[in-house]
Structure 1
């Protein structure tokens, strides 16, 4: 079978990057509290020297506030006027930029934000930064339940995304999930393309689907029902060695078929059938991509457990653990990030892993050192136990940081934490955009004015936040109602 090349499909194989309001390493976006610089971490991984560079740059050029994002990245808030280029250059010099980008490429970031210019080195660098959206488990390669170490695949896909000029046309929100079967895995974030390891008689194959999440088994011991958040479900399976070619084919297919204003795979599927997408992708590969009917009811065999991001859990290597803690509402200051880097050097392998739950994982901790690491994390203000209410709350930047927010959601979340019922998870959003949550939370408090919220409960029969169960609640009233709902059948 002859494989199609992008040039035979689209004569202009290197279009200009899509305009975007998303922050990036080289594109500082203005907010109420200053500029925002988003740092995309390969596989969520950050070495100690890079963590120290971020801490120092954030203190020198911004407000010293670092946020952990729900895509396992970091962002620096409060970038001061006139400091954007210096901040970007410092981060690129620390090896935090896309492949092959030199520090001088960041020097154009201020000018780039002020004018629409033709393709340039700075624009190409920004485009390469935008497409670095591959999520894997923060415990990849170490989780004893994993079927496959996804770290090499993640690196190969990141190289692919940055290496083909045509992919600059993808939206900065276009994202891939590569699931190795770990217990520590985030499976409720919809991705444009997802791949999940599955054990078969002759080894491991990767099942894939579009515009959603891998169908997963409920964690409850009383339920084995598979649940899919949305999307196509499992379509077919390929060998691990075929994954990069498959992803390349699907990305080119998206760019071939998607309308100019379509940014996500779900938009493409609204206009083209799944079979049409697979038929088009087939022209790019020499292995079969037809839909596999035997996978119609496929689901991930191992339940995922988000609580394993907190505290200490055994790794695949004997007598080693990963140890995790969650900063309140996903925010660190520069001093805390410095201290985490030092702790990773002293007790672990010198690496921090940012998780999609806005927490931090230290890996390769000797079992005898676990109590020391847990004490250090607690001293730094990180929660290490799932029973702590703050681990079950997420909140957007709120009105101090965002002009669109109608309430100070972070301050209100801290007030709610003092009264949050056991096992209840709540998302506070200052506006309907839901920047803090890529998933549909069990409960959402949507701000309608300072200190006042409408309460929504997740309901598969209702879109967006779910069903509105009460309006115009204070935080105290919301806490009382959540307690009532938690106790109700």
Structure 2
């Protein structure tokens, strides 16, 4: 309803200040100026008009496009926003990530993969999105002095046990083998790994995969990804390099405008290393900041309109575009989310979606408000044993009623 969308994929969520300025400029010139951070650490420009070539050419000139047009859709590799700088990391994932991305772009057959087919490479960082489901996920760990990559299919490190592990040195071969095996055995309608695994068991897939690997796939029985040191994407945290920190702040409901993006580019150049790292929590991180500059940088981020307090309820709400810009949206979810935030005394992770497609969230949130009419929502609570959004608890609530219900539940949980 508000025009077209231009999706800008960012390798590992990273964009330089110069590239950010290019995005801001074309969003202002050839669209409505609205830019969104996605839950896959990318950007998208909304309200694109008819001058498509004029918008795209400066982005390509800034290095924001694929190596070839056919490979744009398959550049789906998620890293931690703190890859390479996280003091808790087991490995720096960037060398392997660059190998994988280069192969995704240069292997013609991979263009057959669905635009949704995605890989996650986890280096055991403290800042990591572990709940997004990926067709293939990999997680680094050390066993008996050897660095290994555990892997799983059609799941995520937060909830799923790995199917096996290989030495880090063979990580690229593992990814290539998984992708080619998938293309070899999946039927055309089986576009995602979860579709294939309905017909072919994970054990059978791994058995066939082992025949394509130059090293044995080690079985894993009791390994699980450590989640005890996970950090918030909002705030200031130390990096591996002494005296350097990264500073994170959330975008209000995942949105910014051209002026804000230009402002972020300026701050990255003034205080950091000239890059921004967008995160799957629809926030942004500025790396390589001197520790003594973090407080002033945080003030300037706040002045730009970003959320800099992890306890701000608005920083924990997710909302799709809603009826103001989407024909399928049954409610103005962005406006309703802002209103809901004023009714909550404590942060709660809540997803407001204008329809069943749930475009704004890559995993099921603890609370989902599904629009049924303007300003009215059904309320669901996540439950592992229930598919979809979880258990339906209330129907046709106004935002005020939903806020009251959630506050009462929060008080009850606190009392317990």
Q: Fold-level match, TM-score > 0.5?
A: yes
Instruction: Please give the secondary structure, in 2, of the residue aligned with 1:453.
Output: strand
8 A Cα contact 2:163 2:206, kept in partner: no
| CA apart distance, 1:327 | 1.3
8 A Cα contact 1:454 1:472, kept in partner: yes
- Alignment of 1:93 with 2:36, yes or no, is no
Q: 2:151 matched to which residue of 1?
A: 208
| CA apart distance, 1:84 | 1.4
Q: 1:79 matched to which residue of 2?
A: 48
The Cα offsets for residues 6-62 of structure 1, whole Å up to 9 and x where unpaired, read as xxxxxxxxxxxxxxxxxxxxxxxxxx1000011110000000000000000111110
8 A Cα contact 2:322 2:332, kept in partner: yes
Q: How does 1:35-434 map to 2 (within 5 A)?
A: 35-80=4-49, 82-99=50-67, 101=68, 125=69, 127-214=70-157, 216=158, 228=159, 233-289=161-217, 292=219, 295-303=220-228, 305-307=230-232, 309-434=233-358
The Cα offsets for residues 354-396 of structure 1, whole Å up to 9 and x where unpaired, read as 0000000000000111111101100001111111111110100
| Unmatched 5+ stretches in structure 1 | 1-31, 102-124, 217-227
User: How many angstroms apart in 1 are the aligned matches of 2:38 and 2:23?
Assistant: 15
8 A Cα contact 2:88 2:125, kept in partner: yes
| CA apart distance, 1:83 | 1.2
User: How many angstroms apart in 2 are the aligned matches of 1:452 and 1:247?
Assistant: 44
User: How many angstroms apart in 1 are the aligned matches of 2:36 and 2:347?
Assistant: 24
8 A Cα contact 1:396 1:409, kept in partner: yes
User: How many angstroms apart in 1 are the aligned matches of 2:211 and 2:73?
Assistant: 27
8 A Cα contact 1:44 1:138, kept in partner: yes
User: How many angstroms apart in 2 are the aligned matches of 1:485 and 1:427?
Assistant: 16
| CA apart distance, 1:93 | 1.0
User: How many angstroms apart in 1 are the aligned matches of 2:228 and 2:7?
Assistant: 31
Q: 1:9 matched to which residue of 2?
A: none
| CA apart distance, 1:302 | 4.1
Work out which of the residue numbers 476, 479, 482 in structure 1 matches 2:400.
Answer: 476
Q: 1:104 matched to which residue of 2?
A: none
| CA apart distance, 1:238 | 1.0
User: How many angstroms apart in 2 are the aligned matches of 1:278 and 1:312?
Assistant: 41
| CA apart distance, 1:477 | 0.1
Instruction: Please give the secondary structure, in 2, of the residue aligned with 1:199.
Output: strand
8 A Cα contact 1:454 1:468, kept in partner: yes
User: How many angstroms apart in 1 are the aligned matches of 2:297 and 2:24?
Assistant: 20
User: How many angstroms apart in 2 are the aligned matches of 1:349 and 1:371?
Assistant: 17
| CA apart distance, 1:150 | 0.4
Instruction: Please give the secondary structure, in 2, of the residue aligned with 1:418.
Output: helix
User: How many angstroms apart in 2 are the aligned matches of 1:328 and 1:271?
Assistant: 42
User: How many angstroms apart in 2 are the aligned matches of 1:468 and 1:298?
Assistant: 34
| CA apart distance, 1:314 | 0.6
User: How many angstroms apart in 1 are the aligned matches of 2:7 and 2:270?
Assistant: 28
Instruction: Please give the secondary structure, in 1, of the residue aligned with 2:197.
Output: helix
| CA apart distance, 1:235 | 1.1
8 A Cα contact 1:160 1:244, kept in partner: no
| CA apart distance, 1:306 | 4.7
The Cα offsets for residues 199-237 of structure 1, whole Å up to 9 and x where unpaired, read as 1122311111110011x4xxxxxxxxxxx1x5xx21111
The Cα offsets for residues 415-444 of structure 1, whole Å up to 9 and x where unpaired, read as 001012413211000001010000110100
| Unmatched 5+ stretches in structure 2 | none
Instruction: Please give the secondary structure, in 2, of the residue aligned with 1:352.
Output: strand
| CA apart distance, 1:186 | 0.3
Q: TM-score, normalised by structure 1?
A: 0.83
Q: How does 1:15-34 map to 2 (within 5 A)?
A: 32-34=1-3
User: How many angstroms apart in 1 are the aligned matches of 2:227 and 2:323?
Assistant: 40
Q: 1:21 matched to which residue of 2?
A: none
User: How many angstroms apart in 2 are the aligned matches of 1:305 and 1:181?
Assistant: 9
Query: What RMSD, in angstroms, separates the aligned Cα atoms of the two structures?
Result: 1.1
User: How many angstroms apart in 2 are the aligned matches of 1:479 and 1:132?
Assistant: 39
Instruction: Please give the secondary structure, in 1, of the residue aligned with 2:276.
Output: strand
User: How many angstroms apart in 1 are the aligned matches of 2:348 and 2:7?
Assistant: 30
User: How many angstroms apart in 1 are the aligned matches of 2:336 and 2:301?
Assistant: 24
User: How many angstroms apart in 1 are the aligned matches of 2:76 and 2:229?
Assistant: 21
User: How many angstroms apart in 1 are the aligned matches of 2:228 and 2:17?
Assistant: 32
